[in-house]
């Protein structure tokens, strides 16, 4: 498949143009374009430019409102409710995350319950924003049912990502950000586009048989990582980003969805934890001793290190030629 090298600056410009053409206001378009550019920069291709046509489809169909202004409320000093009003998550998060940082700094533990937010991106920006302020963070969101839980063949769970960040003095934070499915759906879709096969243990076909064919998985189901253990974590994500905050499960999201290929507005839970207040101020040395012991292992790398190592020197990305042609057509 033909590919094109393109600068991150151009990626950003094309995204802003395509999103504003589809009805998003400038600030929302800038927020989403920034998240797509940063995903390409970090090598998180499943949530990079590949997602733009889906965002545009949802803006055009009216499922997502590119002019929505998020509404914030504060039921307690440690709880921020943000109704994104069917707007795009990166824009709503720009407004809500500074409030979560402030509340966590004061209260020790605080939560941000995001509602009706169209999330089509990686979750690390949420938790890294907390870590950059010296706080730890946990974030999760459900999606559409594309994963069969352990013991089932039916698609009942979302890919349900879970992210965690931990602040480190004079270093990039420790961050993991992962689908609880054995593979992010975007990676399976990309493999199907490229005609590549996947390793075993990613998904099943319509008959419930293991398969390495991404097209068969897309018409069958993904499976969770780690069997029943990953399935349990995914179940937790369904409840924490669904019922707990007055939102639907992935199954409910699907019933309300118009199947335009874009992100269903839904829930996301983000929790901030203040190690200074929770530990009494003595957390850094213990954490660093532990993490440095891990780093001393010759074949071990900490999660987040690959992405952070790319920052500062990656200025271009490689995109399938037909995808970039589609994006240019949306932009001009």
Distance CA 266, CA 241 (A): 8
305 binds ligand NDP (CB under 6 A): yes
177 binds ligand NDP (CB under 6 A): yes
Q: What are phi and psi of 20, to 5 degrees?
A: -70, -35
- Residues comprising the chain, all counted: 332
Q: What angle do CA 253, 258, 259 make, to 5 degrees?
A: 90
122 binds ligand NDP (CB under 6 A): yes
141 binds ligand NDP (CB under 6 A): yes
Q: Is 46 annotated as catalytic?
A: yes
Contact 26, 92 (CB under 8 A): no
311 binds ligand NDP (CB under 6 A): no
**Binding residues with ligand NDP: total (CB under 6 A):** 27
Helix (H) / strand (E) containing 110: strand 109-118
Q: Out of 40, 143, 224, 250, which residue is the one contacting ligand NDP (CB under 6 A)?
A: 143
176 binds ligand NDP (CB under 6 A): yes
Nearer to ligand NDP, 225 or 287 (CB): 225
Query: x/- string (CB under 6 A) for ligand NDP, residues 227-266?
Result: ----------------------------------------
DSSP symbol at 49 = G
Q: Is 44 annotated as catalytic?
A: no
Least distance (Å) between residue 247 CB and ligand NDP: 13
The crossing angle, in degrees rounded to 10, of helices 8-21 and 321-331 is: 50
Nearer to ligand NDP, 259 or 279 (CB): 259
Q: Out of 161, 203, 214, 272, which residue is the one contacting ligand NDP (CB under 6 A)?
A: 161
44 binds ligand NDP (CB under 6 A): yes
Least distance (Å) between residue 330 CB and ligand NDP: 21
Q: Is 257 annotated as catalytic?
A: no
Q: Which ranges in 151-213 belong to alpha helices (H)? A: 185-194
Q: Out of 14, 64, 121, 191, which residue is the one contacting ligand NDP (CB under 6 A)?
A: 121
Distance CA 203, CA 230 (A): 14
Nearer to ligand NDP, 55 or 103 (CB): 55
Q: Given the DSSP bridges, would you call strands 265-273 and 109-118 parallel, antiparallel or unpaired?
A: antiparallel
Which residue among 44, 46, 117, 250 is the active-site one?
A: 46
Which residue among 35, 47, 65, 177 is the active-site one?
A: 47
Residues 6+ apart with CB under 8 A from 323: 49, 50
Tell me which stretch binds ligand NDP (CB under 6 A): 8-16, 101-109, 113-121, 201-209: 113-121
Distance CA 21, CA 164 (A): 35
Distance CA 289, CA 301 (A): 16
Nearer to ligand NDP, 255 or 295 (CB): 295
Query: x/- string (CB under 6 A) for ligand NDP, residues 63-102?
Result: ----------------------------------------
119 binds ligand NDP (CB under 6 A): yes
| Alpha carbon distances (Å) from 23 to 58, 65, 287, 290 | 10, 8, 46, 49
Contact 23, 59 (CB under 8 A): yes
Provide the β-strand partners of residue 273.
109, 136
Q: Given the DSSP bridges, would you call strands 79-83 and 109-118 parallel, antiparallel or unpaired?
A: parallel
Which residue among 187, 234, 241, 249 is the active-site one?
A: 187
Tell me which stretch binds ligand NDP (CB under 6 A): 211-219, 248-256, 299-307, 315-323: 299-307
Q: Which residues are catalytic?
A: 46-47, 187
């Amino acid at each position: 498949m033909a590919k094109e090298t393109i600068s991150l600056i151009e990626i950003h410009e094309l995204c802003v143009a395509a999103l504003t053409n589809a009805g998003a206001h400038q600030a929302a378009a800038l927020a989403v374009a920034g998240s797509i550019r940063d995903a390409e920069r970090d090598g998180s291709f499943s949530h990079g430019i590949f997602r733009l046509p889906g965002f545009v489809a949802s803006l055009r169909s009216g499922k997502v409102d590119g002019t929505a202004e998020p509404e914030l409320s504060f039921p307690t000093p440690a709880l921020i409710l943000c109704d994104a009003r069917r707007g795009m998550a990166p824009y709503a998060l720009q407004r809500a995350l500074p409030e979560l940082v402030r509340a966590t700094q004061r209260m020790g533990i605080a939560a941000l319950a995001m509602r009706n937010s169209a999330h089509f991106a990686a979750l690390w920006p949420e938790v890294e924003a907390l870590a950059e302020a010296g706080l730890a963070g946990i974030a999760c969101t459900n999606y559409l049912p594309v994963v069969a839980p352990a013991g089932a063949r039916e698609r009942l769970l979302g890919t349900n990502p879970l992210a965690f960040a931990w602040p480190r003095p004079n270093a990039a934070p420790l961050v993991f950000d992962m689908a609880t499915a054995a593979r992010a759906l975007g990676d399976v879709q990309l493999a199907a586009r490229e005609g590549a096969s996947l390793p075993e243990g990613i998904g099943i076909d319509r008959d419930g048989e293991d398969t390495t064919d991404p097209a068969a998985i897309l018409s069958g189901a993904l499976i969770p990582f780690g069997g029943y253990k990953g399935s349990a974590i995914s179940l937790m994500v369904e409840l924490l980003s669904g019922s707990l905050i007055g939102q639907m499960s992935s199954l409910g999201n699907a019933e309300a969805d118009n199947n335009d290929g874009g992100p269903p507005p839904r829930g996301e839970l983000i929790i901030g934890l203040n190690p200074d207040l929770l530990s009494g101020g003595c957390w850094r040395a213990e954490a660093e001793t532990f993490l440095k012991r891990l780093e001393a292992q010759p074949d071990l790398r900490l999660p987040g290190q690959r992405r952070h190592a790319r920052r500062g020197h990656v200025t271009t990305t490689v995109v399938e030629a037909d995808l970039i042609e589609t994006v240019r057509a949306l932009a001009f």
